[in-house]
Structure 1
Amino acid sequence: MMDAITGEFPLKKDWIEKAIHWAVQHFDYTSYHHPNSIPYPGQGFPHVLYAGQKTIPWNDLESYAGPKAGILSYDLKNKFERLKSQNPSLVSCPEACFFLPELTIFFHKETLEIKYAEPQRLFEEIGAFQPETVPKNISPIHVKTSRNEYIQNVRNIQDHIREGDIYEMNYCIAFEASVQSISPVQVFLELQEKSPMPFASFFKCKDQYLVGASPERFIKKQGNKLIAQPIKGTIRRGQTPDEDQVLKETLRQSEKERAENLMIVDLMRNDLARIAQTGTVTVDELFGIYPFRQVYQMISTVSATLRPRLSFAEIIAASFPMGSMTGAPKIKCMELIERYENFKRGWFSGTIGYMDEEGNIDFSVIIRSIIIDTKAKHLFFAAGSAITYDADPAYEYEECLLKASAIHEILST
C-alpha cells in the first residue's frame, strides 16, 4: 500500500454513514467513535473512524508507530489474577483485538480529514457509495435471568456483604437473540439516534461487531496524566422540567448512590496508586451529576501523575477491569460474579478505545452495548447494577431493565 497522506474535504450530511458502511465492507477491522456533543468531564471520544487489516498484540502497542485501535474483553482479567471464566459464551469474543489503521478519518464540524493513500479518490468513492439495505430479522429477545432468580441471587450477594466478603458488587443479567439477518452499522446508527452517548462506539473484528452507546470512560492518558471516571448512580429523566429537576436532586442527595460511588472511587484511587508517582492521586470531582437522554448519571473523576515510562500493558494490568463493573474488593467480587452470573461477559464490561501517535490513550467501559456475531448468527447485550447491603432487589432489577431499554427498543422495531 502507498504511504498515507492527508486530505481535507467538506463534510456532507450522509457521508459519515456511507463511510462506516464502506469501511466495514472493505476492511476486516473497523473502529468508529462519536462524542455526540454531550457535555462530559474531560470530553468524550473524538469523532473518528479507523480501519485496517493488520492486528497487533495488545501488550506491545508501543512497538508500532502511528495510532492503534482496539478492544479488550472482560475475561482478560484471568491474565492478571487467578480467576476463571467458565460460564457459557453467548458470543465467543476474542480476549483482545487491536489493529493498525490503514485509513483514518477525523470528522470536524464542517470538514473532515482523510488519512489514506489516495484521499481524494476515497472521498469521491465513499460519496458515491450506496450501502446495501439489510432487513433486521431477529428472534424474540430472551432474558437469561428471571425476576425471581435475580431477586434470589441479590439476596445471596447481600449475605456475602453481611458476612464481610465484599462491600458492593456489580451484578449483571444478559439478553440474547438469534439473528437471521442484520446490519450492525444500521443498528448502531439507530442506537445513536435513540441514545446518543459521549463514548458511542462501533467496532468490527471480522465477523464480530460491537454496537455501543456507552456513557462511561474507563481511563484516559494525556502525557503523564491519567484519569479514571467511574459511574455509579443512575436515575431516569423526568417527563416535565419540574419532574426532571426533582429526579436530578434525588440522585444527588441519595445516600445509597453516593455510598456506591464513593466505594468505587476509593477502589480506583487504589488502582491508580499502583502506577502513580507518590502523592499524586487526586479526586478532581466527587458525585458530579450529568444529563443523558434517558437518565442522569453520577460521575466522579480521579486523576494521577504516572510514573515514568509505563507501558499501556502495565497501566491495564494495574487497573483492569474497571471497578465500576466489578465492585469492591475487586478480586473477590470477580469470583462471585463468576458464581452468580450465568453468562461469560466477553466484550461486555471490557474496554474499547485507541492510542494516538504520541502514546496518549482513551478507553471507555463497554456497557449499553450489543455484541453481534454475524457468522454464528447470534447477539447478546447485558445490564447490571451495584448491589449493596441495603439494595432493594426488585428496584435493582427494574434499573437493569431501564439501562437495557434503548437497546431492547432498537432491536424490537
Structure 2
Amino acid sequence: MNNAEINVFKQKALQWAASFEVCCCLDSNQYSDPYTQYDCLIAIGNDQTLSAPAGNAFQQLHSFYEEHKDWMFGLLSYELKNEVEDLSSQHTDQLNFPDLFFFVPTYLIALQGDEIKVIKGANSIIETIHRIDLDRPIAKSNLKIENRFDKETYIATVEKLKSHIKRGDIYEVNFCQEFFANHAKINPLAVYNKLNALSPTPFAGFFKIYDHYILSATPERFLCKRGNRLISQPIKGTAKRSSNAVEDEQIKIALKSNIKEQAENVMIVDLVRNDLTKSAVQGSVKVDELFGIYTFPQVHQMISTISCELNPSIHFIDAIKNTFPMGSMTGAPKIKAMQLIDAYEKSKRGAFSGSFGCISPTGDFDFNVIIRSILYNASEHYLSFQVGGAITYAANAEAEYEECMLKASAILKVLS
C-alpha cells in the first residue's frame, strides 16, 4: 500500500474505533525516531479496564499489569502528583477526567511503513475497516472561547512568580493558562483530524474514554522504556516559524544559541537526571543530546534527550511514578514549583500536562506529554485547552504571553 492508501485506512480505522466506548490512537505522523516501534497504534474496545483516583493508583496499575501482562493503553493525569508527593489541588475541575485510566483493548492495529498488522483480534477486521464509508464531517464549531487570564493579569502573575525566583524559592516554574468554552458541541474526531492535519507531531493522539476526549498534537515525549533503557525527552525552548526559508533557518540558529532558552532547558535536564537516578543503575544516567533543535509546522523546539539503565530491582511502573509529573511541566525544585502552580494558576490541570500512551506485554512503554491538546467533556459540553511556558529569572512577561499565544495558535485556528 502506498502512503495515500495507508492514510485512508488510518482514517477509516480511527472512525471505526471512535464508534466504541473506549479507544486510543497513538500517531507518530511518520516522524523519524529511534525509540518509536510503530508509526501508528490504534487500540479499540476495552476488554479490561482500570480507573483509579490518586491515592494508590500507581500500585493498582502495577497489579493490573501483573494480572494481565497484555497491551494496555492509558492516561496518567497531572493530579497523580497528589499521590506522588504531599500535595493537593484547590481549583474546581469542569472536565472531570479520571486521575488514572488504563484499558486492555479488544482489537489492536499497528501501522508501520506500508504495512498493516493486527496485533489483537482477527485479521478479518482489516476487511471490515476497508469496507467502511469514510465520513468527512467538517470540524465546524460555534464556540465562544474564553480565557481565565487577561493579558494584564497574566503579566502581573508572571512578575509575582519572578519575585519567588528572586527570593530563592524556585529556579523555574511552568506557568499555564486555560482557554475554555462552555456549551461546547463539537465532533471530536473531525476536530482531531483537522488538528492533526494542521499540526502533525510525533506524539499525536486521539483518546476516547466514554464521553471524555483528548485530541492531541503534542510534540513531546515524557518517558519511554526500550528493553532495560529509560529515555526522557523534555522540551524547553520555543521559536516561531517563518515562511521565508532563509529567515526560518536564522530563527533556528538563534534558538540554538539563545542563552535564556538554554538556561531553561538545562534546568529541566538536571531535574530529569535527578528523577531518573531514583530508578537507574548507579552511574548509568547520561545526557544523549543537549539543546537539539527540532522543527514542527508552527514552531521550532529545543529538545534534550536523557537516558539511563533501569535498575532490575525496580518495577517499571515505579520508574514512571519516580519521574511523574514530568519536569518540563512543573519546574525546579519540583515540589515547590507544583505548590506555586496551584497557588497562581486559575484552573485545575487534570489531564492537561499529564500523559497518555501504551505499555506492551513485555513491559516496554511510551508516554507523551499532554500539551497542544484539546480536552472535551461531551456530556457536560465543556471544552478546554491550556498553554504555558517556563518562567525563569530572565523571563520577560510580555514575551512569555506572546509565546503562549503562539502555542495556542494552531488550536484556535482549528476551533475557529
Instruction: Please name the residue that 1:83 is paired with.
Output: 87
Equivalent of residue 130 in structure 2, options 127, 131, 136? 127
Instruction: Please name the residue that 1:333 is paired with.
Output: 337
Which ranges in structure 1 are unaligned for 5 or more consecutive residues? 1-9
Cα distance change of structure 1 residues 387 and 117 upon mapping to structure 2, 3 Å threshold: closer
SS of the residue 2:18 aligns to = helix
1:34 Cα deviation from its structure 2 partner: 1.0
Instruction: Please name the residue that 2:203 is paired with.
Output: 199
1:21 Cα deviation from its structure 2 partner: 1.5
Instruction: Please name the residue that 2:194 is paired with.
Output: 190
- Distance in 2, Cα, partners of 1:128 & 1:179: 35
Instruction: Give the letter for the 2:45 counterpart.
Output: G
SS of the residue 1:158 aligns to = helix
Give the TM-score of the pair, scaled to structure 1: 0.93
- Distance in 1, Cα, partners of 2:365 & 2:302: 23
Equivalent of residue 34 in structure 1, options 13, 24, 27? 27
- Distance in 2, Cα, partners of 1:12 & 1:390: 47
- Distance in 2, Cα, partners of 1:11 & 1:50: 20
**2:62 is the alignment partner of 1:59:** yes
1:29 Cα deviation from its structure 2 partner: 1.5
- Distance in 1, Cα, partners of 2:265 & 2:100: 28
Equivalent of residue 22 in structure 1, options 16, 40, 48? 16
- Distance in 2, Cα, partners of 1:232 & 1:354: 24
Contact 2:184 2:383 in 1 (8 A): no
SS of the residue 1:89 aligns to = coil
Cα distance change of structure 1 residues 14 and 71 upon mapping to structure 2, 3 Å threshold: same
Equivalent of residue 307 in structure 2, options 303, 318, 326? 303
Cα distance change of structure 1 residues 198 and 117 upon mapping to structure 2, 3 Å threshold: closer
Instruction: Please name the residue that 2:216 is paired with.
Output: 212
- Distance in 1, Cα, partners of 2:336 & 2:401: 22
1:357 Cα deviation from its structure 2 partner: 1.8
Cα distance change of structure 1 residues 164 and 44 upon mapping to structure 2, 3 Å threshold: farther
Contact 1:88 1:342 in 2 (8 A): no
What whole-Å deviation, never above 9, does each CA across 1:100-135 have from its counterpart, x for those lacking one? 011000113323112444322x22322232366476
Which ranges in structure 2 are unaligned for 5 or more consecutive residues? 51-59
- Distance in 1, Cα, partners of 2:37 & 2:362: 19
SS of the residue 1:249 aligns to = helix
What whole-Å deviation, never above 9, does each CA across 1:332-380 have from its counterpart, x for those lacking one? 0000000000000011000111111211011111100010111111110
1:224 Cα deviation from its structure 2 partner: 0.9
> Percent identity at matched positions?
43
What whole-Å deviation, never above 9, does each CA across 1:122-154 have from its counterpart, x for those lacking one? 223222323664763342111111101100100
SS of the residue 1:102 aligns to = strand
Instruction: Give the letter for the 1:281 counterpart.
Output: V
Contact 2:236 2:265 in 1 (8 A): yes
SS of the residue 2:217 aligns to = strand
Cα distance change of structure 1 residues 40 and 149 upon mapping to structure 2, 3 Å threshold: farther
- Distance in 2, Cα, partners of 1:30 & 1:264: 32
Contact 1:11 1:112 in 2 (8 A): no
Counting only pairs closer than 5 Å after superposition, residues 228-267 of structure 1 correspond to structure 2 as 228-267=232-271
Counting only pairs closer than 5 Å after superposition, residues 249-328 of structure 1 correspond to structure 2 as 249-328=253-332
What whole-Å deviation, never above 9, does each CA across 1:224-250 have from its counterpart, x for those lacking one? 110111110000112211101110011
Cα distance change of structure 1 residues 396 and 13 upon mapping to structure 2, 3 Å threshold: closer
- Distance in 1, Cα, partners of 2:13 & 2:39: 16
Instruction: Give the letter for the 1:38 counterpart.
Output: Y
Instruction: Please name the residue that 1:5 is paired with.
Output: none
SS of the residue 1:201 aligns to = strand
SS of the residue 1:331 aligns to = helix
Give the TM-score of the pair, scaled to structure 2: 0.93
- Distance in 2, Cα, partners of 1:119 & 1:100: 18
Contact 1:264 1:324 in 2 (8 A): yes
Equivalent of residue 403 in structure 1, options 403, 407, 410? 407
Contact 1:230 1:299 in 2 (8 A): yes
Instruction: Please name the residue that 1:50 is paired with.
Output: 43
Contact 2:38 2:112 in 1 (8 A): no
Contact 1:70 1:353 in 2 (8 A): yes
Contact 2:24 2:73 in 1 (8 A): yes
Instruction: Give the letter for the 2:164 counterpart.
Output: H
What whole-Å deviation, never above 9, does each CA across 1:195-252 have from its counterpart, x for those lacking one? 0000011101110010001111111111111011111000011221110111001101
- Distance in 1, Cα, partners of 2:214 & 2:398: 29
Equivalent of residue 378 in structure 2, options 371, 374, 378? 374
Equivalent of residue 365 in structure 1, options 360, 369, 373? 369
What whole-Å deviation, never above 9, does each CA across 1:163-219 have from its counterpart, x for those lacking one? 000000000000001345321111111111100000011101110010001111111
Alignment root-mean-square deviation, CA: 1.7
1:38 Cα deviation from its structure 2 partner: 2.1
- Distance in 2, Cα, partners of 1:285 & 1:116: 36
Equivalent of residue 99 in structure 1, options 99, 103, 108? 103
**2:148 is the alignment partner of 1:144:** yes
